Structure 1
């Protein structure tokens, strides 16, 4: 009888012999296995992706080394996707035995990867399609598990030692070409050193990437620099989207990627110096952020993805804590929270990005403030949208105005509308202008009609209406575009007097900040603001102010306008140059225009702004007796396309 010790020794010998036999078999038949693997890959590419995959030569070197030459992938009737001339690599056999592919070393000599889009289509479309036989399950995806699995697989394919020479990445979007050529890339002893040449139709640039990369421990600290003088320009975006952008340097740091307790944590920071962006939808000038840093912590769970509130964003002297979340536990919910701790107002002003707030240049302030924003949108319950914006101030006071001197609202000034970047004729806001009309000489009906249609709570709010913002956000989400704003009369006044009509992010941000300063520092009274508003807004083609409008439409003074005339004037404020589309060829109001005015008058009756006696005679036809009537004589031919502004649209309040 064998003893227990003898049995253990025998078992160990059998296991060792079996393993040795497997190793010998693998060594003896490895080239045959390699050929079979390549053949399977080629068959899969042909059958599932309609592409030709070939390797001219493939062989093992030593126990775990592999040499390849002329690796080519060509989709049918499309440009080559990639062509690698020579590649050497080694694989971790122990990880391979458990079904994991982990590269040890990698050498690539000369080759290219290219993405092409042209009239024939895209040469990578076949690899984006979903599997036809993919089964769909009602089970929710575990975001933490899914992300950790993808990250682990990707990092396993990053070798611990790497040497790349003359590898190009080419992008061709219908003739918009960009080439990123890795002249050399070295990763040795966790140290990364790279030199890249970037070529586009507009510029050529050399970029250096250096730092530490440890794919096995999931950490990295990498910096991007320009080898030549000047900033690093971002390719492709300019030609494709009209977005010019550049930066002096970028640093990306990954400190930790860890999954524990069912949650995935990704920690690190990213920083950028002298970021410049230029796009017509952002601002009319270059926008520059001198220094910005993002200390991040991403958290992923089974039913959520978030940027944790312990994260910090800092640009110049402004520092705040963002919280972003996407949750799917019960409903699909989007959350955003921003918290700016107590800071000096002047530090905030001087930290505003150059080019984004041009009207604030030279502004000075005293005191402190802190700010909080809470936003939540439930996709399944949209009407429960949360939008809560709070600013807490401490001895906050503007001591010096910048380019936008808000005090000018209290005196005489010359107003010139800007339409499509062209200044219109000057309009004097003051008593020396015979058409200027003080508020007490403007028909009370017109004041009530315009306030009801444009800003019912004008005399009680401080520049903004939270509920209006909520409704604006909801409509923009539903239409998937910025189809509705939330402008109060205060915002319209600031936009007209101090800003331009350009639809840019810059103008909207400046508008919000200037309105807050105007309303919360009591720079002008509500009555004065409303008076200026009535005397500068556009009421028709080259018609500015209510004094000109009353004459243009009815040959009256603003004090003598009837309720019917005031209802008409209020409803054309959003689109005054298109007033003629409200009339038919006989000079009578069309049905949709009558309905708009009826809706407005009924709303005012329900709110007690009008009485039944006020509406006597309101059903009588509207007659244009001023110069405006001559514009109604233009006949619209059947062959002329109907103006998009002529169709009936809901009249919103």
Structure 2
């Protein structure tokens, strides 16, 4: 027994002596190893990235500290990527022994990192090369493992104690320059304090970033505020994308990052005060959200990434629970769910962002509502798209209208179209206008043709057609652009009478809400809506209303139009100013125009809207007898070439 103990002690002594010798050898030769490591990095930068990497001086400080001076990385024939004058750091030796780099302290004095794009290219292009071996593998990604590994590596590179002075991040995008200079940055005892200067050609601002940061326990609570007066402006976006944006303050809180049960959980919240956005595609005015907060819970699994439905988004008094998911277990599936719990209608109206819903300002409502949206798109089975929108009302009633007084539709009013921000001539919608035509004096053929081509279920829907939305979404996804809308006659009426033709998010959102109010509060009858629609829409160049159109094309009243003439008028509604391109030089309809009208008439026959007797005489060529005929010889004045419209495609509904 004694001999065995002696052997164990001897073995431990040998191990300890060996370990001590390794430590001593490492300590003696560490400077040589450091130089060798820098040489390897320099060689790799030159051979793989065509860049020069150099360190003027490098040495160890104490047992685990490193000191560097004049660290430079410069791609050949391009601007320097970074230049750090002085840097000191320390690493956790025990973590380093298992191959994990974890910084303990970091000091940086005077330096810059810059991204430059000019005629020569970008100074960081060489470092964006894809890893071919990684891209060619068929191994399925585990999003939880990948996410946790990336987060852990990033947080390990954030030191527990940090001192930075005069470190700049520069961006130069073809002369659009932005500099973010960390004049002072301190992280000590888990408390973060910074002084940052942001400079562009347009402005200079002083920003303060402060709060709590504990990278080892993966928690943080950080605030961004303006040291100067006024809001914090976002740099670069205005020059690059025409997006002006600012805010008073931002708070970012990370409460928990944990991986358990094969899932990665990231919990916390983010809030922003007085967020202002201005972009021509969003709205014509500044859009302001006074207070917004996002209580988030991100979940990552082996085959999904999601924002959990326990998350909450709140802006002003509006609160809803979003669910977003990207799944890859079998098919690639995108999911979106939005649930607005029961809330007061008036709270919803007063919480709408300023500048985004200008026509709702001053509107008042009673009652409550709740809303649910369910959307799912399967990339592998696109025809199984789910789009389900439900609104549950409780004594919901509009008691006062804002700028858009929908009761206007029931009386006499003056309509003025707006084309490219220019008001067109006034058109009186009322019996005092000799061209105004009541619905019962408009040819039934024309009513049937236009309803079939524009909105077949107009008299049965409540402003929207879910199936049309689904088909619109499918086509827009396939074409990767907004190539098809889902506009009903109700939506076209709202757009024409109350809104402009600007293609902005604001206008579309206002259109949707106003249509819902119009249709679900029975403000105007369907017959009245259709009558107004026929009397205001554009039928040709400076031709508004069916009364003017019937005379302009055929020198007739709307009641006397034939089926052939009604089919023609229905097919030009989408592009009325281009009607002349449907005719050849002899004044006869081209083959594609005849096919469109035949397609529409056959569809109406199949649906029982027309009878065979109605189509008698359809073979007689269409002739323009009104002033429109004189424009057929002036087609060269149109800015759109004939070939762009003379395409033999079936009608879309």
Q: TM-score, normalised by structure 1?
A: 0.98
* Structure 2: distance between partners of 1:13 and 1:514: 85
Match of 1:80 in 2: 80
| 2:67 match | 67
> Which residue of 2 is the match for residue 624 of structure 1?
624
C-alpha distance in 2, partners of 1:612/1:639? 40
Task: Give the superposition deviation at 1:18.
Answer: 1.7
Q: Which residue of 2 aligns with 1:349?
A: 349
What is the CA deviation profile of residues 239-288 of structure 1, one whole-angstrom value per residue up to 9, with x for unaligned ones? Answer: 01000000000000000000000000000000000000000000000000
Q: CA deviation at 1:201?
A: 1.0
What does 1:15-164 correspond to in 2, within 5 Å? Answer: 15-134=15-134, 136-164=136-164
CA contact (8 A) 1:259 1:265 kept: yes
The match for 2:365 is: 365
Structure 1 Cα separation of the partners of residues 447 and 453 of structure 2: 10
Kindly indicate whether residue 190 of structure 2 is the aligned counterpart of residue 185 of structure 1.
Answer: no
Give the C-alpha shift of residue 475 in structure 1.
Answer: 0.4
Cα deviations by residue, 1:586-626 (Å, 9 ceiling, x for unpaired)? 11111110000000000000000000000011111110000
- 1:19 positional shift: 1.6
1:639 to 1:145, Cα distance in 2 relative to 1, 3 A: closer
Residue 404 of structure 1 aligns with which residue? Answer: 404
Other-structure match for 1:375? 375
Partner of 1:440: 440
Spell out, residue by residue over 1:543-571, the C-alpha distance to the aligned partner (whole angstroms, 9 max, x if none).
00000000000000000000000000000
3-state SS in 2 of match to 1:199: strand
Cα distance in structure 1, aligned partners of 2:578 and 2:101: 67
TM-score for the superposition, normalised by structure 2:
0.98
Seen in structure 2, the aligned counterparts of structure 1 residues 643 and 417 have a Cα distance that, compared at 3 Å, is: farther
Aligned length: 653
SS in structure 2 opposite 1:634? helix
Query: How far has the Cα of 1:20 moved from its partner?
Result: 1.2
Aligned 8 A contact 1:278 1:286 in 2: yes
Q: Per-residue displacement from partner, 1:187-230 (whole Å, max 9, x unpaired)?
A: 00100001111111111111100001100000000000010000
Question: Is 1:475 aligned with 2:482?
Answer: no
- Cα distance change, pair 332–22 in 1 and its aligned pair in 2 (3 A): same
C-alpha separation between the residues in 1 aligned to 2:583 and 2:184?
Answer: 71
1:5/1:147 Cα in 2 relative to 1: closer, same or farther (>3 Å)? same
Aligned to 1:200: 200
Whether contact under 8 Å (1:358, 1:403) holds in the other structure is yes
1:597 paired residue number: 597
Please tell me whether the aligned partners of residues 346 and 365 of structure 1 are also in contact (alpha carbons under 8 angstroms): yes
- Alpha-carbon offset, residue 488 of structure 1: 0.3
- Measured after TM superposition, the shift of residue 643 of structure 1 is 6.1
Structure 1 residues 423 and 643: CA distance shift in structure 2, 3 A: farther
Secondary structure at the counterpart of residue 644 of structure 2? coil
Conserved in 2, the CA contact under 8 Å of 1:585 and 1:635? no
Q: 1:367·1:394 contact (CA, 8 Å) conserved in 2?
A: yes
Mapped to 2, the partners of 1:607 and 1:346 lie a distance apart of 44
Correspondences of 1:259-270 after superposition (within 5 Å): 259-270=259-270
Measure how far apart 1:639 and its partner are: 13
CA distance in 1, matches of 2:535, 2:646: 26
Q: Which residue of 2 aligns with 1:166?
A: 166
Structure 1 residue 568 corresponds to structure 2 residue 568: yes
1:133 Cα shift? 4.7
CA distance in 1, matches of 2:122, 2:266: 34
Partner of 2:417: 417
Distance 1:197 1:234 in 2: 12
Q: Are the counterparts in 1 of residues 304 and 328 from structure 2 also a CA contact under 8 Å?
A: yes
1:295 pairs with 2:295: yes
Deviations 1:9-30 (A, max 9, x none): 3232222212211111111000
Q: Which residue of 2 aligns with 1:550?
A: 550
- For 2:446 and 2:488, locate their aligned partners in 1 and report how far apart those are by CA, in whole Å: 17
Indicate conservation of the 8 Å contact 2:452/2:604, yes or no.
yes
Contact kept, 8 Å, 1:287 with 1:354, in 2: the verdict is yes
Give yes or no for contact 1:106–1:159 (8 Å, CA) kept in 2: yes
1:276-291 residue pairs with structure 2 within 5 A?
Answer: 276-291=276-291
Q: What is the CA deviation profile of residues 131-180 of structure 1, one whole-angstrom value per residue up to 9, with x for unaligned ones?
A: 34546222210000000000000000000000111110000111111111
**Superposed counterparts of 1:251-262, under 5 Å:** 251-262=251-262
**Separation in structure 2 between the aligned mates of residue 14 and residue 147 of structure 1, nearest angstrom:** 42
Structure 2 residue 608 is matched with structure 1 residue 581: no
**Could you say which residue in structure 2 is the equivalent of 1:513?**
513
* CA-CA distance at 1:627 after TM superposition: 0.5
Instruction: Give 3-state SS (helix, strand or coil) of 2:629's partner.
Output: helix
Deviations 1:277-322 (A, max 9, x none): 0000000000000000000000000000000000000000000100
Could you tell me whether the CA contact under 8 Å between 2:276 and 2:289 is conserved in 1?
yes
For residues 410 and 582 of structure 1, the distance between their equivalents in structure 2, rounded to whole angstroms, comes to: 36
Structure 1 residue runs without a partner (length 5+): none
Shift of 1:2: 4.1
**Residues 300 and 284 (structure 1), Cα distance of their counterparts in 2 relative to 1, 3 Å cut:** same
- Residue equivalent to 1:529: 529
Provide the rounded CA distance (Å) in 2 between the counterparts of 1:396 and 1:108.
61
CA distance in structure 2 between the aligned counterparts of 1:549 and 1:250, rounded to whole angstroms: 56
Looking at structure 2, the residues matched to 544 and 104 of structure 1 have their Cα atoms a distance apart, in angstroms, of 74
RMSD: 1.4
Of 227-236 and 127-136, the range deviating more from structure 2:
127-136
Matched residue of 1:277: which SS?
strand
- Is the Cα–Cα contact under 8 Å of residues 413 and 430 in structure 1 kept in the other structure? yes
| Partners of 2:413 and 2:430 within 8 A in 1 | yes
Stretch of structure 1 that moved more, 502-511 or 134-143: 134-143
CA distances 1:439-458 after superposition (whole Å, capped 9, x unpaired): 00000000000000000000
Q: CA deviation at 1:98?
A: 0.5
C-alpha displacement of 1:4: 3.7
2:330 aligns with 330
2:595 and 2:648 in contact (8 A); partners too: no
Counterparts of 2:470 and 2:301 in 1: how far apart (Å)? 29
Residue number in structure 2 paired with 1:306: 306
d(CA) in 2 for partners of 1:639, 1:281: 24
Corresponding residue SS for 2:140: coil
